[in-house]
Chain A
Amino acid sequence: MAVRKPPITTREYWAPGHAACAGCGCATALRLATKAFSEAMEEKYGDPNAFAIAQATGCMEVVSAVFPYTAWKAPWLHVAFENAAAAASGVEAAWKKVGRKGKILAIGGDGGTADIGMQALSGMLERWHNVVYLMYDNEAYMNTGIQRSSSTPYGAWTTTSPPGKYSIGEDKPKKWVALIAAAHQVPYVATASIGNPFDFVKKMKKAAKVDGPAFVQVQCTCPTGWKSPLEKGVEIARLAIETGVWPLFEIENGDIWNIKIQAPGGGAKVKREGGRVVAIEFKKPIEEYLKLQGRFKHLFKQPEAIDVMREQIKAMWRTIGVEVTLPKPEE
C-alpha cells in the first residue's frame, strides 16, 4: 500500500504541553509557522533546525515558557514586550559573525507589533536583518485580558472598548501593519490566516527562504477574546477571508504597486485585469463572520454600525487597489 507523504513535516518545535487555551488559533499558527520554517531551512541550508526564535511578551510567550518547563524545541529567546525585532537583530548579527547558517524568526502579537513594538520592527526591517517577523494577530491584548490594540477591528467589544450608550465598541478602523511593513520595501510581506493553513505554510516557507527581512501577518482566532465557540476557530478565520474582512495578499521585493491579491473563495467573483485582481464581488455577507463571535454581538442591535464596518472594509480594499462589493444579508 502506498504511504502518502504528510503535507507538512512531522517534526515539532512547538511541543504539546503548552498552556494555551483550548481552541487557541495562535497556538495553531505557531505550530504551523515553525514547521514551515523547519522545512524551509532544510531546503535552503540542508538543516531543518537552522533557526532560532525571538519572541515578544504576550500570550503565546507566557503559555510556552513557564519555568522550569518549555514548549519550545528550538532555541528560543524572550526579552520584553516591544523588542522582539531588536532582540532578533542582535541574534542575527551574532549568528552572522560566528558564521552560523540559518534564519531568525521573530514573533509578536498585535500589541507587541502594531503598537509598542512598531519602532523596533521598523528599525529591524529598515536595517535589512535576515529575520522573518511573524505577527500573530488575534486583534487585541489577549495576554492582559482582552484590551483593544490598534489592530482591533472597528466595532469589536474589548474590555477597553466596551459598547455602551455612547460607544459602539472599538471606534477606529484596524491598522494594517503588513502595509506599513511593505513600505520598508523589504523582500517579502504577506498576510495569512489559519483559515487557510496551506497558504500560511507556503507563505512562511517563502518568507523564510528570502535573503533579508520578511513580514507575515497571520490572523488567528482567540475563543476567549472573541467569545467564539472553541471548535470554530478555523471556520471563523475562513469566513473572514470569504466575507472580505481579511484580505490575503503578498508583496514581493518591496513592489507595493504589484500587490498580489488572492481570490477569497466562498463563491466570490473575482475580476482581473492583466492578471491583476481589480474587483471582488463577495457573496457571503460579513454578518456570517460576525455572528459567530460574541465580541460583535452588540452590533446586531445596531445594523447601521455593520454598514459602517462594510464601508471601512471597502476603504481598506481600495487602499490595496481593489474595488469590492459586500452584500447585505438577505432579509
Chain B
Amino acid sequence: MPIRKVMKANEAAAWAAKLAKPKVIAAFPITPSTLVPEKISEFVADGELDAEFIKVESEHSAISACVGASAAGVRTFTATASQGLALMHEILFIAAGMRLPIVIAVGNRALSAPINIWNDWQDTISERDTGWLQFYAENNQEALDLILIAYKVAENEKVLLPAMVGFDAFILTHTVEPVEIPDQELVDEFLGEYEPKYAYLDPARPVTQGTLAFPAHYMEARYTVWEANENARKVIDEAFAEFEKKFGRKYQKIEEYRTDDAEIIFVTMGSLAGTVKEYVDHLREQGIKVGVAKMTVYRPFPIEEVRALAKKAKVLALLEKNVTFSVGGALFQDFSRALINESEKPKIVDFILGLGGRDVTFKDLDEALAIAQKALNGEAVDEVNWIGLRKEIL
C-alpha cells in the first residue's frame, strides 16, 4: 500500500531518488535544495538506500562524478539549484552529448547577481539548450512523481538523455504538503533495472567513451541528440500513460484547466500554476472566460500541444519567472516558434514576474489580465510586460 506523508518537496525528491535506487549519488549542498542530499545521506546511513554517496567538493565534480558513474553503466542522481546548476553547465552538454541518462532534482532559484536564494526559473531555463529533458513540478507530489518519470524517459533506449526536474525554491522545497509515496514494488516494475546498452566501462568489452570528433562527424553526433529529443515526445506520453495506469496520477505535457471556452489562456509552469488556477476560478465566478495551461514538460518543447492549445484561445498570456534579455521570456520565444507558421494564431503577450522570490499575487495577475484584455479587444499592447515592478525604486 502506498503511504502518505507530510513532507517538503526536497524530501519528496529524496524519496523519489530512494525509490529509483540509483547506485551512485554525488552531491554538493546549495540552498534551497540542500535537504535533498541530507535526506539521501540519512537513507544511505540507515541502509534504506544501497548506494555509493560521493560527497563531492563542488557541483562541477558532482555532475562529473555522475557522468563517470553513468558511463560505467549505473543509475545516478544528484540535486542542485541556481549557481550550482550554472557551475555544472559545461558538463550538462557533455552528459547529453554522451547520452547518459542522469537525473537532477533542481530547486528552482534565481541567479546572481545580486545573490538571491529565492525562486524563479532562470537556473533551469538557462540550461534549456544543453539537450537535457526538463520537467517542472507544480507541487510536492509532482516533484516525486516527475523524478520517477524522468528516469523512465531518460533511460528509454530511443531517448538516452539526461533529465532535470525543477520545483520552486522555498514555495515547494521548504513547504510541507501531503505526498503519497508509491509502493517500492510498483516503482521497481515501472522503472526496472537500468541496463546500459552503450556505456559501461567494462574491461571485458573495452570501449572508448567521450572521443574527439572532427568536422566530419560532429554534426551527426549533435543530430542524434536532436533526434533523441524528438523521440522523447512519444516516450514521455507513453511514460505518463503507464504512470497513470500504475499509480493513478495523470500527467500531460501541457495540463489544461478551464480552457475549453477560454478567450484568454494563461500559460505558466511550476507552483505558479496552482496560484493561477485559483485566480482563474475567481475570474470565472465573475464570468470572465479565462483558463490556464501548465507546462509540465518544457524540453522537448511540446510544439504540437502548444498548437492545439493556441486553437482554443484568442490571447495567450505567458507568465514567466525568467528573462531572455532583449527578447522577453523563454516561453515567448518558444511559443512564437511553435505558432509563427500557423494560419490562424492567437495574440501572444508575455509577462515577466515573480523574479527572485517576489510574490505573485492576484493583484499582479489583475495587472496582467488587464493588459491581456486590451489585447483581446484589439488594442495595442507591449509584447513584453514586467509585472509588479517597483518603478519608484529604479
Starting from the known contacts A54-B68, A67-B211, A96-B52, 5 additional A-B residue pairs (CB-CB under 8 Å) come to: A72-B206, A75-B201, A90-B68, A97-B51, A123-B58
**Majority DSSP secondary structure for residues of A touching B:** mixed
Tally of A interface residues using CB under 8 Å: 46
Q: Is B65 an interface residue (CB 8 A)?
A: yes
Are the CB atoms of B24 and A94 closer together than 8 Å? yes
| In the complex, per-residue mask of A55-86: 1 if CB is within 8 Å of any chain B CB, else 0 | 00000011001111010111111111011011
For the complex, what is the distance from the CA of A91 to the CA of B206, rounded to whole Å?
A: 14
Given A98-B23, A119-B58, verify A86-B64 contact (CB < 8 Å): yes
For the complex, what is the distance from the CA of A122 to the CA of B61, rounded to whole Å?
A: 11
Report A's interface with B, CB cutoff 8 A: 47, 49-52, 54, 61-62, 65-68, 70, 72-80, 82-83, 85-98, 100, 102, 119-120, 122-123, 126-127
Task: Return chain A residues, CB-CB under 8 Å to B90.
Answer: 80
Are the CB atoms of A47 and B203 closer together than 8 Å? yes
Tally of B interface residues using CB under 8 Å: 43
Task: Return chain B residues, CB-CB under 8 Å to A120.
Answer: 57-58, 60-61, 64
**Which of A74, A79, A98 has a CB less than 8 Å from the CB of B68?**
A79
Are the CB atoms of A70 and B211 closer together than 8 Å? yes
**Majority DSSP secondary structure for residues of B touching A:** mixed
For the complex, what is the distance from the CA of A264 to the CA of B71, rounded to whole Å?
A: 42
Are the CB atoms of B212 and A66 closer together than 8 Å? yes
Nearest chain-B residue to A72 (Cβ)? B208
Task: Return chain B residues, CB-CB under 8 Å to A126.
Answer: 57
For the complex, what is the distance from the CA of A100 to the CA of B335, rounded to whole Å?
A: 48
Q: Is B91 an interface residue (CB 8 A)?
A: yes
Given A67-B212, A91-B201, verify A77-B52 contact (CB < 8 Å): no
Report B's interface with A, CB cutoff 8 A: 23-24, 26, 51-52, 54-58, 60-61, 64-74, 76, 90-91, 94, 200-204, 206-214, 217, 221
Nearest chain-A residue to B26 (Cβ)? A90
**Which of B74, B94, B207 has a CB less than 8 Å from the CB of A80?**
B94
For the complex, what is the distance from the CA of A96 to the CA of B26, rounded to whole Å?
A: 14
Given A52-B203, A75-B206, A88-B68, verify A94-B52 contact (CB < 8 Å): yes
Given A80-B91, A90-B76, A94-B69, verify A49-B203 contact (CB < 8 Å): yes
For the complex, what is the distance from the CA of A100 to the CA of B73, rounded to whole Å?
A: 12
Chain A min CB distance to B61 (Å): 4
Are the CB atoms of B72 and A89 closer together than 8 Å? no
Task: Return chain A residues, CB-CB under 8 Å to B91.
Answer: 79-80, 83
**Which of A62, A68, A97 has a CB less than 8 Å from the CB of B23?**
A97
Nearest chain-B residue to A65 (Cβ)? B211
For the complex, what is the distance from the CA of A66 to the CA of B70, rounded to whole Å?
A: 22
Given A75-B207, A123-B61, A127-B55, verify A67-B68 contact (CB < 8 Å): no
Task: Return chain B residues, CB-CB under 8 Å to A79.
Answer: 64, 67-68, 91, 94, 210
